[in-house]
Each structure stands twice: as structure tokens, then as C-alpha cells.
Amino acid sequence: MNMRDGPKIRLYVEHPLGDGQTIPLTRDQAHYLFGVMRLSEGGQVLVFDGQSGEWLAEVVDAGKRGGALRCVAQTRPLQMPPDLWLLFAPIKKARTDFIVEKAAEMGAARICPVQTEFTNSDRIRQDRLQAHAVEAAEQCGGTFVPHVDDLQRLDRLLANWPADRHLMFCDESLSGGATPAIDGRKGMPWAILIGPEGGFSQAERARLAGLPQAMPVSLGPRILRADTAAVAAMTLWQLSLGDWA
């Protein structure tokens, strides 16, 4: 299908997809398709469920409070991102939203908000951040939606860190030094850690220094804001070891 001539609407659904499968719509989805986008029966959308790839679907029921689609044909198979987690300390609401959106767009498989000693925010709305990840996948053409974890303490996460997962620790104290090549093999499990605006505490630095899987890196000659650092770090990793390389 030529996407320039086909449907422009992409919708994430929590329902199995397959040839001829009927997909019930939630009230919000029905409002968006029929109230906002003005689709009617026979209209076409692209749908994905994070497991079955992308499908062309046709509207078979257009109600005010609900409706249904039917799968017509698969347009793309599932494209999984690299096995990459993004760990970050939540900051102001809009900037936290930005980090989650960009992580989903840039290929994170899991997004992990962490509470550090200097984290400015002590709570998040996990459901709202998950919705942002869904919207990002819908808009960027992705077929996979990364899971957004609830907020968890960094020290507890590091205490149970998987032995086979490398950790790219973005250390602002190294700013001014050259950004090194990331040492590791492509295809291995990785994570990126972005710290809070106040930096890491001495105890956290000691914990990271003692973690064999951790690799401190500089993100260039200037100290970056947390949201900028997340994008820069994921770009660096993707170009070195991800599916951009």
C-alpha cells in the first residue's frame, strides 16, 4: 500500500489482530474516529496492537459511543526495537512527557522512571506517561509500544541489576571530555541512565562505580538538560550499537 494515498490515521488497540478480525472500539476511540476525524462506515485506518504488526482496517460500525473495525490486510510485520531500557529521573511534567515521547520514537523497549536522592519529583502518573508512549508510537509509525514502569528507587533497581545488561551511565561530571565510543557488542541487552537536574549523589556514584556492567560516558563539552541528555544519549547509543548502525 502506498502510504501517500492510503489512510493517514494510525490507532493503537488492545485487541488481537488478524485477517478478518473484528476490533471493538472504546468510547474515546470512537469519539476520535467518528467525532473528530469524521470517519464513517467503510472508512479505513491503520491499527497495531504491539504484537501483530500493522493492519489496514475498515470501519464496520460507526456509533456515537462505540463502534468496530475489521482487519482487511497486514501492511507491515512487527518491528521490535533493540533491547534497550531508558532510565531517567522525572523532572517537570512537560519535560518528563517529552522524554517518554522521544524514548518511544527513538526505539526504547522499556522506559523506567527512577527516584534518585536529588530527584525533584517524588511521584508520576504512570497511566498518563504510558498514554504518551502510545501516542508517540501512533505518530511515528511504530508497531511496538514500550512499557513505562511506575516510579522506582534507583538504589533498589541497581541492587537487582541483571548480570547480562550493560548500563551506559551518562555522567555530567565528565562534561568537557571527549565522548567515547561505546564499548560493547551489538545485540546485547543495554540500558541508559540519565540523572536528575541536581546530579547524582556521592553514594549513587559509588554504587554505579562498583557495578561491573556500568560504563560512564560524557555527552560532550556542555552539561545538558535532562530531556536533552536523554535524546543525545539515545542517539549516541543507536548510532553505535542500535538499529541505526
* C-alpha angle 156-157-160 in degrees, rounded to nearest 5: 90
* C-alpha angle 110-115-118 in degrees, rounded to nearest 5: 135
Residues 45 and 132 both lie in one domain: no
Of 76, 98, 114, which marks where a domain is finished? 76
| Beta-carbon contacts of residue 18 (< 8 Å; ≥ 6 apart) | 52, 71
Selection from 176, 130, 134, 180 nearest residue 151 by Cα = 130
Of 24, 45, 76, which marks where a domain is finished? 76
- 93 in any annotated domain: yes
- The reported pLDDT for the residue numbered 6 is 60
pLDDT tens per residue across all 245 residues of the chain: 444 456 789 999 999 999 999 999 999 999 999 999 999 999 999 999 999 999 999 999 998 789 999 999 999 999 999 999 999 999 888 999 999 999 999 999 999 999 999 987 778 999 999 999 999 999 999 999 999 999 999 999 999 999 999 999 998 877 665 555 576 678 899 999 999 888 899 999 999 999 999 999 888 888 899 999 999 999 999 998 999 87
- 4 in any annotated domain: no
Of 46, 76, 106, which marks where a domain is finished? 76
User: What is the C-alpha to C-alpha distance for residues 208 and 196, in angstroms, rounded to an integer?
Assistant: 15
Residues 39 and 135 both lie in one domain: no
- 114 in any annotated domain: yes
Residues 65 and 97 both lie in one domain: no
Residues 205 and 144 both lie in one domain: yes
Residues 112 and 230 both lie in one domain: yes
Residue 216 C-alpha cell reads as 560512564
Q: 154: part of which helix (H) or strand (E)?
A: helix 154-159
Residues 89 and 155 both lie in one domain: yes
Residues 43 and 107 both lie in one domain: no
Residues 123 and 159 both lie in one domain: yes
Residue 18 sits in a domain whose CATH number is: 2.40.240.20
Residue 117 sits in a domain whose CATH number is: 3.40.1280.10
- The reported pLDDT for the residue numbered 176 is 61
How would you classify the pairing of strands 44-48 and 54-62? antiparallel
- 1 in any annotated domain: no
Contact (Cβ atoms closer than 8 angstroms) between residue 226 and residue 194 = yes
Q: How far apart are the first and last CA of the chain?
A: 27
Domain that holds residue 32: 10-76
- 184 in any annotated domain: yes
HSE-up of residue 223 (Cα within 13 Å, Cβ side): 9
- The reported pLDDT for the residue numbered 2 is 41
Residues 90 and 70 both lie in one domain: no
- The reported pLDDT for the residue numbered 180 is 55
C-alpha 43, offset from chain centre: 29
- The reported pLDDT for the residue numbered 7 is 73
pTM beyond cutoff 0.85: yes
Q: How many domains does the chain have?
A: 2
- The reported pLDDT for the residue numbered 5 is 54
Residues 145 and 199 both lie in one domain: yes
Residues 102 and 148 both lie in one domain: yes
